[in-house]
Amino acid sequence: MVANRAKLKLAVLISGRGSNLQSLIDACDDADYPVEIVTVVSNVPGVQGLDKAEAAGIETTVIDHTAFDGREAFENALHDAISASGAEFVCLAGFMRMLTGGFVGKWRDRMINIHPSLLPDYKGLHVHERVVEAGEKFSGCTVHFVVPDLDSGPIIVQAKVPVEPGDDADTLAARVLDEEHKILPEAVRLIAEDRVSVDGDRVIIT
């Protein structure tokens, strides 16, 4: 990171308890961490993640997708809220809405997601159940750039965990989540330090 450079202004989008959000909040408690979370937006009212943000003094907004007539209106409101916050970059941290190509295009190479598998394997939902049922020996998590195709963007950071004998979806999910809490703040740090660039379908880290 360049000395005295302003911190990266980050918007975090959530839909639930906000455990990955909390990992970013905790990272931001370090004065040397080159990121400031300027807003947290949830598409679901009353979730725990909003409480976590408010406890940290971060501006919060609820944009309930069920209150809109279609995706375009919802995404327009979402884009407006992010832009109004002054955010330069967007992090999806347990945000459980698929975004259209139109929205993704507005934030091209400026929006990341964390997914609980070793992409490109096990895209989509119910990942841990599927991993256990398949008898996999390893699973993990991935931070990647968001593209219009679900869970298909260039990969920034991954972490690998064993699938233990006797694991069910919940025990595996807990093990993977521990790693999510490590790699998400690290990926955001790399981005804020201008160490990440996208070359086609690949990420280059310097």
Active site residues: 115
Q: Provide the CB-side half-sphere exposure for 119 (13 A, CA).
A: 23
Structure token digits, residue 151: 């869970």
Contact between 100 and 71 under an 8 Å Cβ cutoff? The reply is yes
Structure token digits, residue 84: 């109004």
Three-state DSSP class for residue 167: coil
CA distance 109 to 53: 25
The residue behind tokens 């997914």 is 115
Phi, psi of 4 (to 5 degrees): 65, 10
> Which residues are registered as beta bridge partners of 11?
39, 90
DSSP state of 67: G
The residue behind tokens 């880290």 is 205
